[in-house]
Amino acid sequence: MVSPEGDIDMHRSPEFRNVLRGVNEKKPKRLIINLEKVGYMDSSGLATLVECMRTAKNNKTEMILCGMNDRVRAIFEIARLDQFFIIVPTVDDIAV
Amino acid sequence: MTQRPHIRVELLSNPIYLSGARELVGSVSRRLGFDDLQCSKIALAVDEALCNIIRHGYNRQPDKPIWISIWPDVTEPQPLGIRLVIEDEARQVDPSTLKGRALDDIRPGGLGVHIIREVMDEVTFAKRNGKGMRLTMVKHAPHTACTRKKPAQDAKGSP
């Protein structure tokens, strides 16, 4: 599970991208990204997650997003990407 | 817009300052009657505009100027709201080419203009005289804010 913290914007998304690339290199069966400690995300964060999702699909990794607040969820909805990702309310809602 | 802006900030084209710009715009929006989610979306639109300037206009050079000007929007008969103008000295482009990409083309990047147009009620890109671009954005406040005192008339100030 990856649990980023703080704002994910153009300044911080490169670091987030590197973390996710490192995880994807291990080709896990499942990748959970817990966003409950992310207060804000812009389109660079969204692009990082789209890139991660593409790699995960190629690796046959199941990628799940959880813990989004309303502000973070809003950008997924504005970009119509809320249907592209598997999104669940909290980490407790993920089936084992 | 010839009236002097109520707030005018100059920042450098360094992504480290994006959070400060968001805080400013979000705080002012809240004072103008927007709820927390709307404030966040307005700050997002400004963030996306700044990112586009830094990334495409200045090719990520971190020491170029960007100006953010803010007015309360009291244009009658429109309800209260916020007017933001973002200017730069970056390379000029034809404003008609600044369109969001198709959303069914799912790939990283290219969402900034779409987000700006989706969030704000009025969006205008224009070339500045000489060099650089000017982006004007207006967001009308929700109807519940219409009964509030107009900030422009609040000359003596109130808490």
**What is the model's pLDDT at position A27?**
95
Min Cα–Cα distance to chain A from B154, Å: 31
Residue of A nearest to B45 (CA): A42
Each residue's pLDDT tens digit, B11-48: 999 999 999 999 999 999 999 889 999 999 999 999 99
β-pairing, A62-66 with A30-34? parallel
Handedness of CA B14, B68, B19, A48 (dihedral sign): negative
| Separation of alpha carbons B103 and B89, rounded Å | 30
Residues of B contacting chain A (CB within 8 angstroms): 15-16, 18-19, 22, 36-37, 40-41, 43-44, 47-48, 51, 54-55, 103, 106-109, 111-112, 114-115, 118-119
Whether A64 contacts A93, CB under 8 Å = no
Q: Which residues of B touch A80 (CB under 8 A)?
A: 103
CATH topology assigned to domain A6-93? Transcription Regulator spoIIAA (3.30.750)
**Average pLDDT rounded to a whole number, residues A23-51:** 95
* Per-residue pLDDT, B33: 87
Q: Domain residues of chain B, as ranges?
A: 7-147
User: Tell me, what's the pLDDT at B100?
Assistant: 72
Which CATH fold topology does B7-147 show?
A: Heat Shock Protein 90 (3.30.565)
According to the model, what pLDDT value does residue B156 have? 38
What is the pLDDT, as a whole number, of residue A37? Answer: 97
The predicted pLDDT at position B153 comes to: 44
Positive or negative torsion for Cα A62, A63, A69, A75? negative
Residues in chain A with CB shorter than 8 Å from the CB of B19 are 7, 9, 11
Map out the domains of chain A as residue ranges: 6-93
**Which residues of chain B, if any, have pLDDT below 70?**
1-2, 75-79, 102-109, 143-159
Q: How many CB pairs under 8 A join A and B?
A: 65
Identity (one letter) of the amino acid at A20? Answer: L
Q: What is the pLDDT of residue B99?
A: 76
What phi and psi, each to the nearest 5 degrees, are found at residue B33?
105, 5
